[in-house]
Structure 1
């Protein structure tokens, strides 16, 4: 039987490495292995009860049918109020929409705007999907390397050097997955001064970790820091991280009406509307009580300090404490070139991650997946005792190297 022919565009991309790492961890657990999985960017807290009840009540009312492609009027109103109250951003209904997760928002925007050969600047370390989605749209991801000593923040000078006539988008993610980097207003404004000289470039600001921020820092939206660029900024957000609603698959955005119109047109021919039930839950999340956030962020801060302290104490590892999100991103440069007890030389962060999995059953994600080597990512969105045990196992594995 002949094999089907696959498109060039799908051959350009790879499966999500973080999803693949989580799937491998689940498989090994099912086979009876003692695995501590620190792969998934997912809060381990339950969805708040008032959100669950709002969705259940919507179902009881029969709100289980198709909605407008970009979301119900009620959800759009809640999104508009959220942007106004929390971010100081004013949008009209034609300037907001909802999708099946923030991931689809980003996908829609790139597919609606990127032509063959257009360039999309992505600061690294970056979320695994940004470069591949740019390539799927026919564009070329341009990876802007940042430095740990700069807090993994893109500088204005670095941005200026990378801009070409083909540049179509700059993607920003604050707080960042995987580094936890957080841009303040001044850092955004420095980038804005560069972008003001290049009117063709759009800014995609992924704010999905907005509420998960530490040490008294305040979140700033790019479009609020640079209001003169609001008309070419797409502000992306959702309910998955702050409200522990990853499986609800509900993202939303605010941006220029012409862009939103084209994104909605694309969505009408792909997934159509996001889940009506998920939309009901999102309305409750955005308009309901927020008191649980302080407790959740407090727990993440405690876990951050726990795992980063353990990692920093291990010879060969170096771990900067993240300013936001719920990931540690330690450098494993000090382990490269060392030998395992089986005399295998660790030549890359992939080798390090595989060694930790095989030798002590700790599943993580290698840094190259985030366009940054030699690092690896640990999600600390899990129980304290799991992180304690993981820290001990990683230390034991590193001690066994020669």
Structure 2
């Protein structure tokens, strides 16, 4: 692939999804794992067969290149990256992302992962308290002696075909947020995820469950043009899973543009309707008071001061319209998008500010025209 004239670069990764942590924390002693929504434990018959500790929890091992591992320094919460020790398999990084849990609109629970520094110890926030830098991780990999054996097996097949390999490694650094997984992993990370080099997995003699590659195309080549070549690669690789991230991002950008346009339209229309109603009321009031303004002029008040009063009244009415339209706009958005979780994240305050600034400017111009008409 690296020799392909349409490809700019290729990144390769190894991933292991069938590892199990030994002496894992129990839910009663560590709330972090009690509410984690993506986890698994080892089957009881396998635990008994290989005399494994009852407290097991599924973990993963992600392999990266040296350059990508170096970039993870900024994400470390504790410890350091000792590249030579990671390469040999003596140390690894442990990713244990802190998160918070909230109820969604349907009465279910929604898990949101926190970025570095966002954890504040709130009641609905969870942070692992079990492991520290320097601690030892003991884990096992259950593999089949027969590579053709796939799917569900019975207890007798397990006894004759499965083997258990134990591993031990030290924690060199801890990352308390999710990183480098969205476009890289076959499965989302579990509560505890080991991170190292691709070569670390080989040196520890761990069998990877997946090999992953990322293909970056040159600007002159679109993913639509390159798609037939991907299909050709797929013919020669068994278990090949193709994920067109570029196409997904294009769809997402189109969706985001649609939501932004719709949001701007809703905010602007709501503000316009509210302010037009107030503008009409203000104009009716001014017409009713026109004789009073004329009387003030007869009594000696110059048109300039009278115009200033009218101008201030118009601007004041416009400000009231803005203040009233802000909650009204929010109410309309909630009414239209109330069933979509997190839709408010797509609407930004600057949209409303821009809309209201333009409308206020129009209001000022309208007030100036009213003063001119009075004169």
Does TM, normalized by the shorter one, top 0.5?
A: no
Greater fraction of residues in strand: 2
Larger Rg: 2
Tell me the TM-score normalized by structure 2. Answer: 0.25
Tell me the TM-score normalized by structure 1. Answer: 0.24
